[in-house]
Amino acid sequence: MNKDFRTISLLPIAAAGMILFGFHCGMARAAEPTAPPAMAGPPAGQYQLDKSHASVLLRVSHMGFSTYTTRFSHFDSDLKFDPNNIQASSVVTTIDAASFEMDAAPQMCLDIVKGAKMLNVAEHPKIVFRSDKVRMSGAKSFEIDGTLDLLGVKHPLVLTGTYNGGYPGMPQDPHARVGFSAHGAIKRSDFGMTYGVPAPGTTMGVGDMIDVSIEAEFTGPPLSQPTSQTH
């Protein structure tokens, strides 16, 4: 078999291979997921707490043996928010002190915490946090300087937070929505709540420092409808 004949004979095989290779490449490109279109951000305005997607958790040392976790189950919050000027935002949060919960704890323990020696919910039914200033520490991270009103005592509280994002709404959820995570710590003796605080140098009791973790989603202005065109 001469050289020219061999070359001519291989051409159909090479062409078929190129066609098959191109077919597979096309399939691979077709299978690649396409990025979804960018969603517009949420508008500025007044936002209300979505209570079904919010939590206030408290963590405190119990005799140094464990960090006990508890929560408040009833609270509300009003937010003034501008995603283009987060530091101009403000928030007021009100907690129902009687909604303090201790999973599986004896009723006696719950009575002590809600009683006159600690939360004293009969005389001080509300705990209120009001923001005073928001300082940006990153593109979406910030610090909130505010005042906590607990047991009739007002004391400064700084929360570190993250803006988790939001959207202007969608057909299934036709209001703007934004979400935040925040963290802070309070010293309960600053508010006169000294019952059970361990003596200096010991851990026998309930810790003075209380770690606070907050997760919150807010709903805001309704989804704007496109202007109808007249023909």
- Model pLDDT, residue 183: 98
C-alpha 219/C-alpha 168 separation (Å) is 10
Read off the pLDDT band of 224 (50, 70, 90): confident
- The predicted-structure confidence for 180-206, as pLDDT tens digits, reads as follows 999 999 999 999 999 999 999 999 999
- Model pLDDT, residue 219: 98
pTM tops 0.85: no
C-alpha 218/C-alpha 220 separation (Å) is 7
Domain boundaries, given as residue ranges, for the chain = 1-30, 45-222
> Domain 45-222 belongs to what architecture?
Beta Barrel (2.40)
Q: Average pLDDT of the chain?
A: 86
Question: Would the pLDDT of 56 be above 90?
Answer: yes
Question: Would the pLDDT of 105 be above 80?
Answer: yes
C-alpha 70/C-alpha 76 separation (Å) is 18
Average pLDDT rounded to a whole number, residues 40-49: 94
- Model pLDDT, residue 39: 61
C-alpha 159 chain-centroid distance = 13
- The predicted-structure confidence for 2-24, as pLDDT tens digits, reads as follows 444 343 343 333 333 443 344 34
The dihedral region occupied by 102, where left means phi > 0, alpha psi between -120 and 50, and beta the remainder, is beta
